[in-house]
Structure 1
Amino acid sequence: MENEIINRVANSKLITFNLEEYYPEGKRVLFDISDWLLEGIVLKESDFRTSVKQHDWSQYQGSYIALHCSTDAIIPGWAFLLVSLQLAPFAKKTVVGTLDTLESILFAEIIPTLDFSALQDKPVIIKGCAHKPIPQNAYLLLAEKLQPIAKNIMYGEACSSVPLYKRK
């Protein structure tokens, strides 16, 4: 009698939730304004405004932009606002911070819009391995959304998941 190999994972009711499937496509740009500062540390308003006005903003069409200053300069709040208003017609999203900040904000906007009704009372695995830069905050937000819905929440892969939550 031959032993048939049974794929228990495929036959289980486990649902794998992969955040990578919701990763917004588009170029990511870390835009450093320090090049527009006097010696990289002093914002001279007239020079800064000239640099902003002369810059070709169309090159950021469809991009996600993280505005930052790589030096220890003190940047007035209006400076990032001025840049973001120039980017508005071209960029999909502009934030102040790092690329990690950008990704966190994108997922903070995406996760609340998802329909989780198919996961009601089901065991869910939050897929841990990703080829795209999924921020840790996205996993936290997802877990918070799933907790009142899912029967169980695990992290990892079906063959080696880590249990995180089980409804009583």
Structure 2
Amino acid sequence: MAEEIINKVANSVLEVFDLEDYFPKQPILSIDVSNWLVEGFLLKEKEFRESLKNHDWSQYKDALVSIYCSTDAILPAWTFALVTVYLQPFASKISSGTKNDLLLSYYQDTLNQIDFSKYNQKPLILKGCSNKPVPQEAYVLAIQKLIPFAKSIMFGEACSAVPLYKSIKKQ
């Protein structure tokens, strides 16, 4: 008779903290302001304002939106702020920079809202493999939030986790 296979991972006290569980459900979009510049480099205020006024902003409804410039144009400090004025009624979050910058800002906000005390004195795995583009910096933020509570933290998957942290036993 074959010996029964026991799933030790499923029966363990390990808790998994998966950043992918907190990945935004909204669309993640970007706006390249160079599209509204003369030859992609020169901002002429009147034309720029006219382009913004005529743009269909409703396409950004409930989206996370990053604003960036793909060229080396030297832009006035108010450029992204003016784009934000038009975006604000539609987008759920706006950030200047890359999509990665936007996701990092999103994770900062999200992780600040989590009650990490539920992980008090528990062994944790910070899940490392993800199918979504979780920024590397989000793992750095998460580990900082988890350390004050966790008994231990490993990174990866239960079958091949790398130890990262073990709390010092208090005497």
The question of a shared fold, defined as TM-score above 0.5 by the shorter chain, is answered with yes
Unaligned regions of 5+ residues in structure 2, if any? none
Residue 3 of structure 1: how far off its partner (Å): 2.5
State the secondary structure of the residue aligned to 1:95.
strand
Alignment match, 1:61 = 61
Deviations 1:116-161 (A, max 9, x none): 1221000000111111111111111100001110000110000100
Q: 2 CA distance for matches of 1:15 and 1:156?
A: 12
Q: 1 CA distance for matches of 2:47 and 2:100?
A: 30
Write out aligned runs for 1:86-125 (5 A). Answer: 86-125=86-125
State the secondary structure of the residue aligned to 2:155.
strand
Q: 2 CA distance for matches of 1:112 and 1:64?
A: 18
Q: 1 CA distance for matches of 2:82 and 2:56?
A: 14
Q: 2 CA distance for matches of 1:3 and 1:131?
A: 35
Q: 1 CA distance for matches of 2:82 and 2:37?
A: 14
Deviations 1:85-107 (A, max 9, x none): 11001001111100100110000
Residue 2 of structure 1: how far off its partner (Å): 4.8
Q: Identity, % of aligned pairs? A: 51
Which consecutive segments of 4 or more residues in structure 1 shift more than 4 A? none
Q: Are 1:39 and 2:39 counterparts?
A: yes
Alignment match, 1:142 = 142
Q: 2 CA distance for matches of 1:23 and 1:49?
A: 34
Q: Which amino acid aligns with 2:61?
A: Q
Alignment match, 2:159 = 159
State the secondary structure of the residue aligned to 1:3.
coil
Q: Are 1:51 and 2:51 counterparts?
A: yes
Alignment match, 2:70 = 70
Q: Which amino acid aligns with 1:50?
A: E
TM-score by length of 1: 0.96
Count of matched residue pairs: 168
Alignment match, 1:131 = 131
Residue 80 of structure 1: how far off its partner (Å): 0.5
Q: Which amino acid aligns with 1:150?
A: A
Q: Which amino acid aligns with 1:145?
A: K
